Chains A and B, each alone.
Chain A
Amino acid sequence: MALGGMFRNAAAIYLHLVGPFRGKKSGASLARCLHQTLAMTKRLQARRLDGIDHNPWVEFVKLASEADVVNLGQGFPDFPPPDFAVEAFQHAVSGDFMLNQYTKAFGYPPLTKILASFFGKLLGQDIDPLKNVLVTVGAYGALFTAFQALVDEGDEVIIIEPFFDCYEPMTLMAGGRPVFVSLKPSPNQDGELDSSSSWQLDPTELASKFTSRTKALILNTPNNPLGKVFSRAELELVASLCQQHDVVCITDEVYQWLVYDGCQHVSIATLPGMWERTLTIGSAGKTFSATGWKVGWVLGPDSLLKHLRTMHQNSIFHCPTQAQAAVAQSFEREQLHFGQPSSYFVQLPQAIQRCRDHMIQSLKSVGLRPVIPQGSYFLITDISEFKSKMPNLPGAADEPYDRRFVKWMIKNKGLMAIPVSIFCSVPHQELFDHYIRFCFMKDESTLRAMDKKLQKWKDELRP
């Protein structure tokens, strides 16, 4: 058998091999191998994975693991969780050995109880731990469960750009159609740095996105990557449209405690008429600086949560017990200290605001123009000057500028950030390809290392 000639036409090869070798048990083992390999080249993956297999993070995470790069890319703290949270986890893993076994599927009871009580007060709702709370594997898992439970083939989901990148593939995997509407910066008058508050939705444009097929709108406040904290007025606009068009609002509020300059986080579920149509998602990882625990939750009316429970019991069923116990104990501690200077929810944003301000000053020194975020772990920075001075950075022909810039910056300046075009729909990439996202949820030593790199960069800029 001349192997060379066989690979010209895969279909013919398949028929050629299958014919003579069907039913043979021994002998032409090589040909049988080929049969199997070729047979397996038929489409294997389910159609629901179409268009969602690409993972933009993989490339950048790989680059960041190279030596001597200061990682300001991915959104996780490089400092420890607070002592009380660490102790809570230690207690959970060394106490009652039955915590090594399954707990209740919809949430470890002390956790659902404290979440109901804590958020009941915050949201001004009577929250039932069994009906209005679902514990999930991170807020990521909560988002997935919500999309799968509610979004059907052909349903439209309104996504506000820039958006945490998983919203689009999750919509697609559920057979939904993402409908994008962009936050846009207001023109900058005085050359001062922009604030994330100046990035706004056009009310008319937003209204035009709602159709009879709109099932849900996904809101993220404080927003990743921009750091915008939606004001009450902005939320009222979204709320009135959701009510008018009978749309479910999925609100991702993982950064709810990380708000700066006296900004207030407002949960849209507290607005009139919204509790019954809102799913409010939170994250222990972001709340207690312990992203590796992967505990999240959804709060909402039973009429919606019952569908998420059905989805949950047919996907992962239970979440790990001990991490839930640690989160429960941590919330119990915070409930005792709520609103006081000793509360982690008071101390953390104060400390991180300093990190934010430090980073903003440092980035300015090399001609980057950060947008001052009102909240979250992140800020975006305008790289337009670099785009005009060095337009031809190495990269693929259609690769957005910000991705090429980030790769260049990692390689040449030892700093890692994330290109903001990752957080946009493909058609709108040019709106955002001159921004990159930095994470300032970092230890002092990391920020000092960043300063060293920036100082070197600044020196290189001098003529």
Chain B
Amino acid sequence: MFLARGRLCTLGSRPKFLKTICASKILGLSTSAKMSLKFKNAKRIEGLDSNVWIEFTKLAADPSVVNLGQGLPDISPPVYVKEELSKIAAIDSLNQYTRGFGHPSLVKALSCLYEKFYQNQINPNKEILVTVGAYGSLFNAIQGLIDEGDEVIVIVPFYDCYEPMVRMAGAIPVFIPLRSVYTKEELQVIADLCIKYDTLCISDEVYEWLVYTGNKHFKIATFPGMWERTITIGSAGKTFSVTGWKLGWSIGPKHLIKHLQTVQQNTVYTCATPLQEALAQALWIDIKRMDDPECYFNSLPKELEVKRNRMVHLLESVGLKPIVPDGGYFIIADVSLLDTDLSDMKNSNEPYDYKFVKWMTKNKKLSAIPVSAFCNAETKLQFEKFVRFCFIKKDSTLDAAEEIIKAWSRLKF
């Protein structure tokens, strides 16, 4: 109030403008239609303002809630990863800008690591780009390669940002439901179609190391004819349980990567230097011991498989129907058998699982994420009885979740 008055005093000679300020501040009306038009958002972000994470992390922020929602490890990253970052924090030269497309020692380490999987050598400067998380790689790839009017096939359910990013590029998402796991044969079908129709492939492989017994991760870019048309995305956050480092990378042929690099030089230009150096050092440690059970790429999936099995068992024991994941650190479960009464939940337009998660967070102090958040409008109904639980959590968190679920089931059965 005081500040507004102060400003009004100095506007003495501008009666028209004074009137506008007075009216809008005191009456709370937007008297200047012209003003509100000019401050409108650019069309590219129209309709993209809501976000499942913003909504649900707010709910789960209550410390009394056991948070199995967001994919955020509450386990410690490996000791040597933390140690590398500590060491690097003491090195002065790493406090200034580094190379925009990726810190030299990091792109070299990534090239060395991934050459083990691809048949070709990977040029660290031309075929790798370091980005702000895998999220940043997705953004750079879509902005760099996808035009207004292009069609982009998105397989449902999908990590929720794919749809808004595709729409922001002015492109049209075409949704196709997933019917089976990505076996080698299914990937070959996708590869054949990409080649036949001369389509690009953006492959988000952030959970590439997290595959469980009896399963293998296949990189579609290694299939014949696919290297030249594929961008493969990886994540430090998911690889080393350091989601807060926000470092990711895109790997692909230079005729595609160069366009992601153009986006980079016009968006963030560079990523943080000390984090990139620490990541490079951590990678070198594990690159040297790829076959060793101590290598984090081997030890983490072992650790998580135990947690996965525990969650599956727990959910089954109370009549929920989990879908056992072959990889990643999430498990989705059909909650319809709990037959929870949600009639008092407001906002009846929301899908069942949104209401269910809000109810569960409030009443059971357990949070998850509604799976319909990972669907387009048309398929939401198919998945609205499913919720997603994250199990990259320390034992005490899973213990607390177990207590809640067991107590809940005792009420029902």
* Complex interface residues of chain A between 143 and 169 (CB less than 8 A to chain B): 144, 148-153, 155, 166, 169
For residue A49, CB closer than 8 A to chain B, the reply is yes
Most buried by A among B44, B98, B164: B44
For residue B355, CB closer than 8 A to chain A, the reply is no
User: Contacts of A248 on B, CB cut-off 8 Å?
Assistant: 38-39
User: Contacts of A3 on B, CB cut-off 8 Å?
Assistant: none
Are B259 and A44 closer than 8 Å at their CB atoms? yes
For residue A105, CB closer than 8 A to chain B, the reply is yes
For residue B89, CB closer than 8 A to chain A, the reply is yes
Are A317 and B95 closer than 8 Å at their CB atoms? no
User: Contacts of A74 on B, CB cut-off 8 Å?
Assistant: 97
For residue B116, CB closer than 8 A to chain A, the reply is no
**Interface stretch of the complex, out of A192-200, A299-307, A332-340, A345-353:** A299-307
For residue B225, CB closer than 8 A to chain A, the reply is yes
| Contact of B161 (CB < 8 Å), options: A292, A311, A314 | A314
User: Contacts of A97 on B, CB cut-off 8 Å?
Assistant: 76-77, 82
Are A101 and B256 closer than 8 Å at their CB atoms? no
A317 to B148, CA, bound (A): 23
| Contact of A138 (CB < 8 Å), options: B70, B146, B247, B268 | B268
Are B244 and A292 closer than 8 Å at their CB atoms? no
Are B143 and A80 closer than 8 Å at their CB atoms? no
User: Contacts of B258 on A, CB cut-off 8 Å?
Assistant: 53
A22 to B223, CA, bound (A): 18
For residue A114, CB closer than 8 A to chain B, the reply is no
Chain B interface category by residue count: 35 or more
Are A52 and B266 closer than 8 Å at their CB atoms? yes
Are B136 and A45 closer than 8 Å at their CB atoms? no
**Interface stretch of the complex, out of B272-280, B295-303, B325-333:** B272-280
Residue interface mask B245-259, A partner, CB < 8 A = 1: 111000001011011
In the complex, what's the smallest C-beta–C-beta distance from B267 to chain A, in angstroms? 5
For residue B287, CB closer than 8 A to chain A, the reply is no
For residue A379, CB closer than 8 A to chain B, the reply is no
For residue B48, CB closer than 8 A to chain A, the reply is yes
Given known A49-B259, A97-B77, A272-B7, contact A137–B45 (CB-CB < 8 A): no
In the complex, what's the smallest C-beta–C-beta distance from A413 to chain B, in angstroms? 24
Are B256 and A314 closer than 8 Å at their CB atoms? no
* Complex interface residues of chain B between 160 and 177 (CB less than 8 A to chain A): 161, 164-165, 168-169
A104 to B57, CA, bound (A): 9
User: Contacts of B229 on A, CB cut-off 8 Å?
Assistant: 36, 40
Are B7 and A100 closer than 8 Å at their CB atoms? no
For residue B85, CB closer than 8 A to chain A, the reply is yes
For residue B54, CB closer than 8 A to chain A, the reply is yes
User: Contacts of A289 on B, CB cut-off 8 Å?
Assistant: 95
Given A46-B146, A100-B76, A314-B168, 17 more A-B residue pairs with CB atoms under 8 Å apart are A53-B259, A94-B86, A97-B76, A97-B77, A102-B70, A141-B132, A149-B45, A166-B269, A215-B38, A246-B34, A273-B17, A292-B98, A293-B274, A309-B49, A310-B48, A319-B246, A321-B244
Give 16 pairs: A residue, B residue, CB < 8 Å, sorted on A.
Answer: A36-B228, A40-B229, A42-B198, A45-B262, A46-B143, A49-B144, A74-B97, A94-B82, A126-B3, A137-B272, A138-B270, A277-B39, A291-B97, A293-B273, A319-B132, A320-B275
Which residues from chain A sit less than 8 Å from chain B, CB to CB?
22, 32, 36-37, 39-40, 42, 44-49, 52-53, 55, 74, 76-78, 80-81, 86, 89-90, 93-94, 97-105, 124-126, 137-138, 140-141, 144, 148-153, 155, 166, 169-170, 173-174, 215, 243, 246-248, 272-273, 277, 285, 289-294, 303-304, 306-307, 309-311, 313-323
